[in-house]
Structure 1
Amino acid sequence: MRLDKYLKVSRLIKRRTVAKDVSEQGRVLLNGKEAKPSATVKVGDELDVQFGQRTLTVRIERLTDSSRKEDAAEMYTVLKEEYRKREEDPLGF
């Protein structure tokens, strides 16, 4: 399955076009390497997705072409969730 489609079907990202844009910006790593939207994902792969100050690391557990909202969370396991601290402004703002 394509990376951009997986991100949409698993509901990690709401729209496929947004998933495509995020991947093209280099904010998605597939097994530790930058991944294009057309990259093929398979069960057991690890994804690192950067959302602003937050990075979410998940392992792919299941691949399906469509899923209900209630079933989407079963498609992956969250391994790690990290928040980057904002760099402090030297002027205190």
Structure 2
Amino acid sequence: MRSSGDLMRALDRKLLRDMWRIKGQAGAIAVVVAVGVLLQVMMSGMISSLEETRATYYERYRLADVFAPVTRAPQKMLSRLADIPGVAAV
């Protein structure tokens, strides 16, 4: 009967042999995972850059954060809307 140490060494050798046989597949999997991580990092950086660019553009050209087009509204609402903090034009 083998001891647990001999069994572990045998299993380690088997694992190494099996990994050597599928080295191409393991390499392909590693490349796919690496490209996925690369794309995730790149996209999150691009999104934060676009959000910062949009915020700078809106601030520089004094654009509203919210636009609310109205086709019909009571005239008496104009003064209440103009009193809202941050409202530049009604």
TM-score normalised over the length of structure 2 = 0.18
Q: Of the two, which has the highest radius of gyration? A: 2
TM-score normalised over the length of structure 1 = 0.18
Pick the structure with more helix per residue: 2
Pick the structure with more strand per residue: 1
